[in-house]
Amino acid sequence: GESVGLHLPTLSVQEGDNSIINCAYSNSASDYFIWYKQESGKGPQFIIDIRSNMDKRQGQRVTVLLNKTVKHLSLQIAATQPGDSAVYFCAENITPGSTLTFGKGTMLLVSP
């Protein structure tokens, strides 16, 4: 997988492969993280979240891993499908209230 940086990195995989999308977050005080999926022409869609008192959380075909030591978050998608093609964003909750700070995003392209 590729790390989120100032440009939009792209991860290309074959259908059925497992995908790993990485994110380096900015603030060691962040205690809540969310992964969103954004398809072309749509708003971001919630995928999975994790709190800082956990290091792993699993959903349906997705797993989020949190490494607080190096401020790193990853999203693993099992058996990737063409419908998973989208831009994926990580977001962190830093300030009081529910404001989120987003990473730049990673484009996932799944070939049939």
Q: Can you give the binding site for another protein, defined by CB under 8 A?
A: 8, 31-32, 34, 36, 41-46, 49, 51, 89, 91, 93, 95-105
Quote the least distance from Cβ 43 to another protein, whole Å: 4
Residue type at 57 in one-letter notation: R
Quote the least distance from Cβ 104 to another protein, whole Å: 5
Quote the least distance from Cβ 109 to another protein, whole Å: 17
Considering the complex, state which of residue 13 and residue 50 has its C-beta at the smaller distance from another protein: 50
Q: How many residues does the chain have?
A: 112
